[in-house]
Chains A and B, each alone.
Chain A
Amino acid sequence: MNVIDIQGLVKRFGNNTAIDGLDLQVSAGRTFAFLGPNGAGKTTTLRIMTGLAKATSGKVIIEGVEVGGAQYPPIGYLPDTPNFYNWMTPRQFLTYTANLHHMEKPPIGAVLERVGLSEVAQKRIGGFSRGMKQRLGLAQALLHKPRVLLLDEPVSALDPAGRKEILNIMSDLHGQITVFFSTHILNDAERICDEIAILNKGKLILQAERETLLAQYVHPIFEIDTLPQELPALRTLAEALKQIPWIRRIEMHGARLRLAVSDVSVAQRALLPLCASIPILRFEMLSATLEDIFLSLTEGETHESVPDSVAQGTA
């Protein structure tokens, strides 16, 4: 059963089309990652899903309730930069939001414990760090036990420790509620999601199960490390490799060359001899990550089309 059903969603700001005919369905209990570069339309989509913005056309139905109608869908929402009433304490804010949902015995203590804010429950929010506000934001989104949790870039502004904590909480929710989150941190999406959609310039370019997606893009990555003083030679090599048809994408990170290839067996035999002009410190074949797939799809540098089975999605 689809708990989120987005049908033909269009959002225009003047002449600019932020979302262009988005169709998306999410099943119950999934952890769904909504990926896209900055300006792709992720936040706009989430704002429409929460009723904070109105669609130019199309509709969003969550748990059978059309967003923007007389009824409110059963959602919890964490905006990208949650801000609070600085004069309140976390306990006061959660009591306020629990009252808005007419909760008689809200599990405020348990939720604060879950997000690691029990010790500061009586402190004013005004003195909180960004990470603490993010955790409190997650607490207020979870408190009323929504069936759908919408998170806008929940970890992008956090340090590694803060990110890990939030991701662990999201991971614990797996299977209990439907989690729909936008992100551009691909490692995080790869770590916790079941399903992925990639949005670019307002259009859905792919929706698929994470495993299916990674399996479809088995094309490995070759990494070649050289000496730092060999950078000019590495650049020349990179330019030359661009002409090779079985090399799909080339990235240079310092003295490291990263190549995505479409024909592994050819690359295994032919790539090393092509690199004879530089001293090689390391030559390694790696599996493609979600980041590689994402870059291929959003930068349009791929030489091959998206496989039909992936582009149409499996949900």
Chain B
Amino acid sequence: MSLFRIQLLKELHEVWATRKAIVFLITMLVFGLMAPITAKLLPELVASLGQGQNIIITVPPPTVSDSLGQFVKNTNQLVAFIVLLLAFLSVVSERERGLMTLIFPHALPRDTFIVAKFVVLALLLGVGLLVEMLVTWVYTALLFSPPDIGNFVSIGVLLYLNLLVMCALALLASTLAQTTLTAAAITFGFVVVSLIAGLLFTFAPSKLGEWATLLAAGLPSAPHWDAVATALVLIVGAIAISCWVLRRQEIISATGT
């Protein structure tokens, strides 16, 4: 068995044994349900606010686009937050608890350690997003009409790519930092920079979210292939830098010695 496979199995075992996987999947399932239900009930809720006050609030009837729009919003905000949380803790928590001092002398290459962590995060995120998409598609079909599968899959791919960028950057922050607090601060910095980049440049990865929003709304949109390329470069770059940084770092024990 290769060292990468051993480490990958250990990481998979960890997300399962610590119940991270199950909690994440249930959360994604709930998010998947929330999007069509919110789209369906929100107009009725808003209209009901005017009742009894002789105010008539007219809300256009919800459509498939509203459900998909809500799905994109949930994924870009709530899911992204959870992904950042999972990724920024992944390396620094092992460092702080002194686990690295125990496993690295067992001839475990540091690159393998980083890549296995990223692959498992990407897998977890991928499965979670699939669950969310499946539930959203089914409930949208039940409450409205079945969304176009090709369009919906495109939205999912764009969101996944955007989330992978955040995951890779948070993993880099986790590798650079010596403490959880520092890792959180660096991750926050990366998020701010990426948001600002989204305002300034068309090739910024956050444009992928905008692209997905337009697709969800069924509006014509020019493809942002430059943003796709930037996202891929950032993912590979962040993981490569994480490996390089960890190879050069001195590993301290749990007592800080």
Q: Which A residues fall within an 8 A CB radius of B?
A: 43-44, 47, 50-54, 72, 75-77, 79-85, 87-88, 92, 96-97, 99-102, 137, 140, 144
Q: Could you say which of B18, B99, B101 has the most chain A C-beta atoms within 10 Å of its C-beta?
A: B101
A101 touches B107 (CB 8 A): yes
> Which of B14, B17, B97, B106 makes the CB contact (< 8 A) with A97?
B106
In whole angstroms, how far apart are the Cα atoms of A84 and B14 in the complex?
12
Check A88/B255 contact, CB under 8 A, given A52-B105, A79-B98, A100-B6: no
Contacts of B6 in A (CB 8 A): 96, 99-100
**B3 on the interface (CB 8 Å rule)?**
yes
B101 touches A52 (CB 8 A): yes
B251 touches A83 (CB 8 A): no
> Which of B10, B107, B251, B254 makes the CB contact (< 8 A) with A96?
B10
**B1 on the interface (CB 8 Å rule)?**
yes
Contacts of B100 in A (CB 8 A): 52
B257 touches A80 (CB 8 A): yes
Check A52/B251 contact, CB under 8 A, given A79-B98, A80-B257, A82-B102: yes
Q: How far is the CB of B114 from chain A (nearest CB, A)?
A: 16
Contacts of B17 in A (CB 8 A): 87-88
A51 touches B97 (CB 8 A): no
In whole angstroms, how far apart are the Cα atoms of A97 and B101 in the complex?
13
- Closest chain B residue, CB of each to CB of A11: B250
**B104 on the interface (CB 8 Å rule)?**
yes
A52 touches B99 (CB 8 A): no
- Closest chain B residue, CB of each to CB of A137: B102
In whole angstroms, how far apart are the Cα atoms of A77 and B104 in the complex?
10
In whole angstroms, how far apart are the Cα atoms of A81 and B1 in the complex?
30
Q: Could you say which of A51, A77, A81, A87 has the most chain B C-beta atoms within 10 Å of its C-beta?
A: A81
- Closest chain A residue, CB of each to CB of B7: A100
B101 touches A99 (CB 8 A): no
Q: How far is the CB of A27 from chain B (nearest CB, A)?
A: 22
In whole angstroms, how far apart are the Cα atoms of A213 and B257 in the complex?
30
Q: Which B residues fall within an 8 A CB radius of A?
A: 1, 3, 6, 10, 13-14, 17-18, 97-108, 250-251, 253-255, 257
Q: Could you say which of A43, A75, A80, A100 has the most chain B C-beta atoms within 10 Å of its C-beta?
A: A100
B98 touches A81 (CB 8 A): yes
Check A85/B107 contact, CB under 8 A, given A47-B250, A53-B251, A80-B255: no
Closest 5 CB pairs of A and B: A72-B107, A77-B105, A52-B251, A87-B17, A83-B98
In whole angstroms, how far apart are the Cα atoms of A137 and B99 in the complex?
11
Q: How far is the CB of A123 from chain B (nearest CB, A)?
A: 14
Contacts of A47 in B (CB 8 A): 101, 250-251, 253
Check A83/B102 contact, CB under 8 A, given A43-B257, A53-B250, A96-B6: yes
A-B contacts, 27 of them at CB < 8 A, read A43-B257, A47-B250, A47-B251, A50-B101, A51-B105, A52-B250, A52-B251, A53-B250, A53-B251, A72-B107, A79-B102, A79-B254, A81-B254, A81-B255, A82-B98, A82-B102, A83-B98, A85-B99, A87-B14, A87-B18, A96-B10, A100-B6, A100-B103, A100-B106, A101-B107, A137-B102, A140-B102
A83 touches B99 (CB 8 A): yes
In whole angstroms, how far apart are the Cα atoms of A101 and B255 in the complex?
27
In whole angstroms, how far apart are the Cα atoms of A79 and B251 in the complex?
12
- Closest chain A residue, CB of each to CB of B250: A53
New contact pairs (9) apart from A47-B251, A81-B253, A83-B97, CB-CB < 8 Å: A50-B105, A52-B105, A75-B105, A76-B105, A77-B102, A79-B101, A96-B10, A97-B106, A102-B1
In whole angstroms, how far apart are the Cα atoms of A83 and B254 in the complex?
8
Contacts of A85 in B (CB 8 A): 14, 99
In whole angstroms, how far apart are the Cα atoms of A81 and B100 in the complex?
12
In whole angstroms, how far apart are the Cα atoms of A144 and B107 in the complex?
11
Contacts of B107 in A (CB 8 A): 72, 100-101
> Which of A54, A77, A101, A137 makes the CB contact (< 8 A) with B250?
A54
In whole angstroms, how far apart are the Cα atoms of A87 and B18 in the complex?
6
A80 touches B253 (CB 8 A): yes
Q: How far is the CB of B193 from chain A (nearest CB, A)?
A: 30
B98 touches A52 (CB 8 A): no
